[in-house]
Structure 1
Amino acid sequence: MINMLTEVVVFCPLPPKPNGIADYFAEQLPYFSRKTKVTVVIENTHPEPVGIAANIRILRLEEYMWQQGYYSSIPHIYHVGNNPDTKYMLPVLLAKPGLVVVHDLNLHYLIDLTNLSIGDKEGYQLALANNYGEAGETIGKQLAEFGWKGRFMPHELMMNNSIITAAERILVHSKYSADKIGALGHSNVCVVPHHFSPAARQYQPKLKMQYRGQLGLPGNKPVITSMGFIAKAKQIKSVLKALSTIKKQGIDFTYVLAGQCKPHEYDVYQDIADSGLTENVVVTGFLDEDAFFKYMLASDFIINLRYPTGGESSGTLTRAMGMGLCCVVVNIGPFGEVPNDCAIKLEWNEDFDHNLCAQLKRLIEDKVYRVTIGKNAQKWVERTHNISATTDAYLNEASKLIDKTKFNSRALNVNVHEYLPLETISNWERTSKVNEDYNNLWWRANLIPLNHERVLSVAESQEYQVYILRELFGYAQKDILEVPIDQIALSTRGQLNTLAVIDASLSDIAVSPMNWLMGINAVLALGGKLILSFLVPEDLLSEYSLSRASLKKMLAAAGFSVDKTIAGPQDISMFTDECPRSERWVFSSIKRSWMVNVNPPVYDNGASELQWLYNQNERKSGA
């Protein structure tokens, strides 16, 4: 049952933008507007939208910002794809919680557009560190110092953490994407299939030969088609190789590449020539919707290969299957979720080229085979990809959004911390009862930010630490979550913390510090502030070969960036010459990444944690 919304704000490009997401949402808009008032926000330089009903309010980003106060209490939906057309919405998305529709799990190019593509190498390095911790920082340094940017990076490093973390709820089109996002710790993820286009119903399979005549395609031989941008990941080179082999066997055909070329990424014409298929291949360039559907239905079957996959679900595939066409896909990611009897699903292994060639030959020669698979696909799409049902699912998810009129404190790099004036701390210290037997270095250094919703407090002297948080920094008792030091990893209680103040002894972490710091990483939100104090007895320091520099490296390996380090004696007496034998180390840091390097070489002797434990055991057994 849908909780009805009176109004919703949607950030998404619209036609005539040559963008699949724009077409996708334009098809949904009539169904949205029947049930709620819709405002669509587009970028400032967006061309004038076409084909949009008059009852849909359209604002450019600048107009929305003028009225942000009014719209702040209205549920927001953001359509995010790995392309320039969704870049404009990122500042609002990161600050205003909403329902984020992740069309492409891989958002590397989108993030690249916000920094590296405009010459901001430091921003790109920070994004790498935010997403991949210490490993990302190392890759960023290689880029800055040597200009190294491996070809694997845009495919393997998905760079989606900041957007996923900023979302209150997430909608995806496949279980594959939902599982990947769930693994990052986001629990509010909903799977809604990519809808079948209502516009497709205007075109009839029985008019195949008429469409071929209009498009100049032959009527006396098989027509095979690949739809959409002609990119390297579509494995066009493998298709051309297979078709070249088939042609040498005396089988004739026409292969249509129905989409726009990306010459800077892939020279398809060279591969066509090398394959000896110049007379067999038609490259159409960009197609309008009418030509798109006609090329699709003029075909005998569709080749929709993608490897590697960025987690995207193909609108082209859904349209083709819904129109009763047999499709050939790689059995990976979202494409692997298509039922086995509804498509030709090829495994990506050492036999891929051989199997592709065999299947293409069979599909060309066996009409019953391809028609049977196409009919199975059509029935499946009609049953599961109905646009009315998918639109209802969108509105249902949007209705679950919590009304928030302030900025999202979980959004990475949005946090702007406020602190007490130093004078206030000095005055409070003079007029209050300060217990010098406990740790005071963390608050005297004014490291505690104000006005967080909740503080995770961990300390051996918990009562005294809570007293300071309450009396000096103004946190209410109900907003202070007190947790025993051995239960940090269990402290989330349904939500992540944006501020943690932890006072421990080096003995609490010294045996397995990275494991201990991983527990802290797990309970802090991205961008969360960590104030970490250690009591460091002199004898323990020498026993465990740790130093402040070692711990700073460990924090970096655990996904934190340290912005300040302070050290001081545990106690100072004016009435004795005895030097203190213990001291305090305090680290002020920010969580930058979920990624943790669990075994970095951080000990003073250059050993990793596992190496150090092994050496300790060897030393003890030798004794």
Structure 2
Amino acid sequence: MQRVAFCTPVNPVESGISDYSEELLPYLGQYVDLTLVVDAEVQPTNQQLLAKLPIIRIGDLAKQHARQPFDAIIYHMGNSPAHSRFWQSLQSLPGIVVLHDYVLHHLMLWHAANRLKNVASYRQLMQHYYAEQGSSIAQRMERGQLGDAVFDFPLSEPVIAQASSLIAHSQYVLERVQPQRPNLATSLVPMGVPLLPAPDRLAARQALQLPAEIPIWASFGHINPYKRIEQALQAFAQFRRTYPDARYILVGSVSPSYDLKALLQRLQLGESVQVTGYVDHADFNRYVAAADLCFNGRYPSAGETSASLLRLLGAGRAVLVSDIATFSELPADVVAHVPVDRDEVALIAAYAQRLWADVALREAMETNARRYVTEKHSLPLAARGYADHLSRVQGWPRLEPQREPLWDINAVTIQHSIAQTIGRKAAQLGLVDDDAPLLDRLAARLRNLLT
């Protein structure tokens, strides 16, 4: 079997790409012999992964490749500091890039500020790719004047330039890559997510001590202005005029730069809105099961494909999404698309009224959602897409599965050490060696902006 180096964050790195990779690896391992390549400070916590795969540090990849060349190297690139050393390696040792986010601005700023300790290199990139306008934006960023403009300056160009070939999970990303490198080999590979057993709404509500009969809205993930939460809450306030017992549950952490409490007070929503903060995996799934209607908004977009959205659809939930970027590619009978315009609030409220009143319509939408993920976004289908890309770009015969999945993702054991837990929390607070206060503050603010 061909040997493939797979460079990615894994748990305990708190990134959706960590979960994505750990779920994909056992299926991709049916086709090739994988070596997992992790960041220098990361000690994987997935016990099955530790038992089944050889693991090396990214700093050792070049030496290992020189001594015994890999047949292919895959780099996962996303818009977070977790990919900084992978970007550093890609510059000297090109490979296949899996571009999870089209906007990599946060990664590039953090890399310049913290890895290189040279913010001037960030300015130079902005000047090189976007001329005077880029230089002006860079100066504003350094002064902490962050805004939506960063979404128009993706800084993914240098990563695309280094790719030997590229995998994306959406046409949206591929359409933006193609003009930059028309001859680059690319593939559209579906994002794979595990399909859990059909959820039991009543049992979930009992476990969470939620009323059985009331309408429940829910949104999942980090809460910030770009998730359109304010517009959803305004629509929810209208919905409550007809259904005063309705509840909206916000499941996830709240950005420090977002005054959610003031917003709830202004809308006079009181205890009808529940903010859970971070919840563990089991409770996350219970909240998904308990919900009647989910809202997944975004504007502007970093061009990401949302694994959390696919998990909601796989659970058979009725979901409203912003009609933007990758979300627009979802079929109209699977999600309800909400244009980001002056009618946004009214349309969210109207969709909610119709879906709650028309049980047959809501159930049909739930059935379509689960079928869509089953047929289009399974983990075996994702692994097949990777295998086909590898065969094509490397000139190999078509890869076929040679064995069963390397492990059962439903039986994963996670082991956390005290040191890992403390280190992870310290990293969340921005406590790093050789702290550069101004640059870290800039990077932290941008992280809140883009996550």
Q: TM-score range by the shorter chain?
A: 0.7 to 0.9
Counting only pairs closer than 5 Å after superposition, residues 556-595 of structure 1 correspond to structure 2 as: none
Verify the 8 A CA contact 2:96 2:163 in the aligned structure 1: yes
Find the residue that maps to 2:250 and give its secondary structure. Answer: strand
Matched, 1:367 2:359: yes
The residue number in structure 2 matching 1:61 is 58
Cα distance in 1 for partners of 2:150, 2:137 equals: 13
The residue number in structure 2 matching 1:16 is 12
**Bigger proportion of residues as helix:** 2
The residue number in structure 2 matching 1:246 is 239
Verify the 8 A CA contact 1:15 1:51 in the aligned structure 2: no
Task: List structure 1 runs of 4+ shifted beyond 6 angstroms.
Answer: none
> Which has more radius of gyration?
1
Aligned partner of 1:121 among 119, 122, 126? 119
Verify the 8 A CA contact 2:216 2:290 in the aligned structure 1: yes
Matched, 1:49 2:49: no
The residue number in structure 1 matching 2:181 is 185
Aligned partner of 1:27 among 23, 28, 36? 23
Counting only pairs closer than 5 Å after superposition, residues 6-405 of structure 1 correspond to structure 2 as: 6-53=2-49, 54-70=51-67, 72-116=69-113, 120-140=118-138, 147=143, 149-186=145-182, 187-198=184-195, 200-201=196-197, 204-205=198-199, 207-263=200-256, 265-402=257-394
Structure 1 pair 46–353 and aligned structure 2 pair: CA distance change class (3 A): same
Verify the 8 A CA contact 2:8 2:83 in the aligned structure 1: yes
Letter in 2 for 1:392: R
How many aligned residue pairs are there?
A: 392
Cα distance in 2 for partners of 1:33, 1:307 equals: 36
Cα distance in 2 for partners of 1:58, 1:270 equals: 47
Counting only pairs closer than 5 Å after superposition, residues 342-491 of structure 1 correspond to structure 2 as: 342-402=334-394
Q: How many Å apart are 1:324 and its aligned residue?
A: 1.5
Cα distance in 1 for partners of 2:194, 2:66 equals: 35
Structure 1 pair 311–209 and aligned structure 2 pair: CA distance change class (3 A): same
Letter in 1 for 2:39: E
- CA RMSD across the alignment: 2.1
Q: How many Å apart are 1:113 and its aligned residue?
A: 0.6
Cα distance in 2 for partners of 1:389, 1:143 equals: 41
Letter in 1 for 2:11: P
Q: How many Å apart are 1:214 and its aligned residue?
A: 1.5
Find the residue that maps to 1:77 and give its secondary structure. Answer: strand
Structure 1 pair 219–158 and aligned structure 2 pair: CA distance change class (3 A): same
Verify the 8 A CA contact 2:140 2:146 in the aligned structure 1: no
Cα distance in 1 for partners of 2:141, 2:227 equals: 28
More deviation in 266-275 or 322-331? 266-275
Cα distance in 2 for partners of 1:260, 1:20 equals: 14
Letter in 2 for 1:291: D
Cα distance in 2 for partners of 1:97, 1:249 equals: 58
Verify the 8 A CA contact 1:131 1:160 in the aligned structure 2: no
CA deviation map 1:483-542 (0-9, x unaligned): xxxxxxxxxxxxxxxxxxxxxxxxxxxxxxxxxxxxxxxxxxxxxxxxxxxxxxxxxxxx
Verify the 8 A CA contact 1:75 1:399 in the aligned structure 2: no
Verify the 8 A CA contact 1:131 1:162 in the aligned structure 2: no
Unaligned runs of 5+ in 2: 396-451
The structure showing larger relative contact order (alpha-carbon pairs under 8 Å, at least 6 residues apart) is 2
Cα distance in 1 for partners of 2:175, 2:45 equals: 35
CA deviation map 1:275-297 (0-9, x unaligned): 22230122222233222222111
Identity across the alignment (%): 27
Letter in 1 for 2:31: K
Verify the 8 A CA contact 2:38 2:56 in the aligned structure 1: yes
Structure 1 pair 142–366 and aligned structure 2 pair: CA distance change class (3 A): closer
Q: How many Å apart are 1:140 and its aligned residue?
A: 3.8
TM-score (norm 1): 0.60
Q: How many Å apart are 1:138 and its aligned residue?
A: 4.4
